[in-house]
Amino acid sequence: NAGVTQTPKFQVLKTGQSMTLQCAQDMNHEYMSWYRQDPGMGLRLIHYSVGAGITDQGEVPNGYNVSRSTTEDFPLRLLSAAPSQTSVYFCASSTIQGYDYNSPLHFGNGTRLTVT
């Protein structure tokens, strides 16, 4: 039981390049989400999903795309990287029991992205 797995751990991109951050969970969680963590600002929600085929925007969605084709995977795509997207990205998941969102979030170890 690996929990939430993120790859890669580190990535350096040049401005304008695109890439996909991978996230997989093996806990059969319905809810998955992506956050970015910047110094002094806490974590901010980028996108989330409540199940396969369902995604929605969070607080800071611009410049990012997501899809959820399976319960296990929730990749985050950077369409055209910008220096402002330099950050640490975290994927998280949790169960949803009916409409009960009162389950703890499980986090991956993060991807540290630098855009030059």
Considering the complex, state which of residue 14 and residue 41 has its C-beta at the smaller distance from another protein. Answer: 41
Enter the tokens of residue 112: 């540290």
Decide whether 43 or 115 has the Cβ nearer to another protein.
43
Give the shortest CB-93-to-another protein separation in angstroms: 11
* Binding-site ranges for another protein (CB under 8 A): 4, 31, 33, 35, 40-45, 48, 50, 56, 58-59, 90, 92, 99, 101-110
CA distance 87 to 83: 9
Nearest approach in angstroms of CB 4 to another protein is 7
Nearest to 82 by CA among 16, 4, 10: 16
In the complex, the smallest distance separating the C-beta of residue 15 from another protein, rounded to whole angstroms, is: 26
Nearer to another protein, 15 or 56 (CB): 56
